Amino acid sequence: MLAKIKAIILDGYCVADNKGGKYLLKEDGIGASCNKVQINGKHDYIVFKFDQKVEGIDCLFPFYSKIKRINKMCDYIIFYKQDNTNDLLAVICNLKSNNPGDNTDQVKAGEIFAKFIFDTAKRYYSADAQFHNLELFKFKVLFSSQVIYKNDIDYRTATIKNQNGILNLIADEQFNIDEWYRFKTR
């Protein structure tokens, strides 16, 4: 199923197609102090990086005008599929050094784009039974080199109450995608 989602996106944007295991998210921006984060997953996942240049593509959203902040995108979108569930988790990731900048716009754009990819796959593969009951859930995370947002988490209801539901994690350790599943939202 993840291979079918990958197939609808232009080559060059998918940076990892893993059968579980580790992957290193990287930020190549000049002066970035939060330049890598290691994630780990027990199950299959694919990683897209849409804020990079791909040969033959001048602009990710060529149909938008040049209005400031209109062409924003998060650093990574990870589609993660736990075995034996009808859940597909879209992990919306941003890496920031110590300034949130336009993080909220970038994460929101990634959230909308992940849903668009999911809905396109469901439409295109409508005859495929593995897409019939599949539901998309989201988890939004900001990795940073220091605390940018104070996390306000209600563990009883598994709700992230701060900064539009974006969890801020310090990027100095490994992160397991399976642990984020309880914080998924629609």
Q: Which two tokens stand for residue 141?
A: 């995370």
Question: Among residues 42, 41, 34, which one has the least CA distance to residue 75?
Answer: 34
Domain boundaries, the chain: 2-53+70-183
pLDDT at res. 121: 97
Helices (H), 46-148: 103-124
State the greatest distance between any 2 C-alpha atoms of the chain, in Å, as a whole number. 48
C-alpha to C-alpha distance for 145 and 169, rounded to whole angstroms: 9
Label residues 155-179 b or e (16+ Cβ within 10 Å = b).
Answer: eeeeebeebebbbbbebeeebebee
pLDDT at res. 30: 66
Count the helix, strand and coil residues of the chain and give each as a percent rounded to the nearest 5.
20, 35, 40
pLDDT tens track of the chain, all 186 residues? 999 999 999 888 999 998 888 998 988 776 667 778 899 999 999 999 987 878 877 777 777 888 877 888 999 999 999 888 899 999 999 988 777 778 889 999 999 999 999 999 999 999 999 999 999 999 999 888 888 878 777 777 777 877 688 888 888 777 888 887 777 777
The DSSP bridge pattern shows strands 174-176 and 36-48 to be parallel
pLDDT at res. 31: 65
pLDDT at res. 5: 96
pLDDT at res. 55: 82
E strand or H helix that includes residue 67: none
pLDDT at res. 160: 80
Q: Around Cβ 24, how many Cβ atoms within 10 Å? A: 12
What is the Rg, in whole angstroms, of the alpha carbon atoms belonging to the chain?
Answer: 16
pLDDT at res. 128: 93
